[in-house]
Amino acid sequence: MCLSFPLRPLLVSASGLEETLRFNELVRLLEQNGFRLIREKGSIRYYAKAGVDRLIRVDYHGAKEIPTGTCNAILKAAGLKR
């Protein structure tokens, strides 16, 4: 039996094309960089980290892909790079 997985980019490929993240991957990335869940109401989550003055808002939708502009804005607010 051969398992096939969808070929979905994770970050930036060798060809230079931007690749998408899913909401659960973004949350994992934030938590690996020291951000902790502070508040949650419905699907909206707020993350904070010592040394970062603002809360990072993530409208969490599980395994759905994040639109590129939204992802870039969240990463920029968190001070992270792809």
- Residue 7 CB contacts under 8 Å (≥ 6 apart), including other chains: none
Domain with residue 44: its CATH number is: 3.30.920.30
Q: What is the model's pTM?
A: 0.74
In a domain, 49, yes or no: yes
DSSP 30: H
Helix (H) or strand (E) holding 71: helix 68-78
* 49, 36 Cβ separation under 8 angstroms: yes
Per-residue pLDDT of the chain (82 residues; tens, 9 = 90+): 454 445 454 455 444 555 789 999 999 999 999 999 999 999 999 999 999 899 999 999 989 999 999 999 999 999 998 7
In a domain, 9, yes or no: no
In a domain, 8, yes or no: no
Residues of the domain holding 47: 23-78
